[in-house]
Amino acid sequence: IPGPLSDVDVRYYIAAADSSGGLATHPAGAPASYHQFHVGADTQPPVITHTPLADFPLMSWPAALSATVTDNLGVNPDSVKVSWSVNSTPQAAFTLARVGLTNSWTGPFPGVTVAVGDTIHYAISAQDVALVPNTARHPASGTHDFRIIDVRGVILVIDDDEVARQAKETKLVPVDGSK
């Protein structure tokens, strides 16, 4: 393969012949079929997919964020960060953690004190592993915003049957529209 190359597509195939006149190629069908790779600068930024958080109950704070982050060559694992503020007062950015070997990244907001009525503004950013990193941001401009709200409601379910009497656990279930 000739070199050095810059900003080109390299196409190749492998052919092998034996002394009996047999010929094999990889991929099959070469030279009409071939392998290919690109040599050049990475100019594609990562892609961030995220569903913005809705208003969030104080009793469940801190909220957790999740996002899907992909890149054609790889995501820098230390770069998936959340910049955020409470009522427009900047807070220290935090890093989302990769979930196993997936493209999912998640993490909770730091446990700073918030109050009902506070507004949280945030954006997610990520860089790829290119020599000159490409950066992506979600949203592309501005921030996602949600408010800290009072509990949406709590329902205590009492079931007076035998199974309920033997239950060892009681759960609080939030309900939209209640205080």
Rounded-to-integer distance, Cα 159 and Cα 165, Å? 8
Assigned token pair, 16: 């092998």
Average model confidence (pLDDT) for the chain?
89
Rounded-to-integer distance, Cα 130 and Cα 75, Å? 9
DSSP, collapsed to helix, strand or coil, labels residue 96 as coil
pTM of the model: 0.70
- One-letter amino acid at 79 equals S
> What would the pLDDT profile of 52-68 be if each residue is shown by its tens digit?
999 999 999 999 999 99
Q: Residue 67: which of 83, 82, 86, 54 has the closest Cα? A: 82
Give Cβ neighbours of residue 88 (< 8 Å, ≥ 6 apart): 119, 121
> What would the pLDDT profile of 144-160 be if each residue is shown by its tens digit?
999 999 986 666 666 66
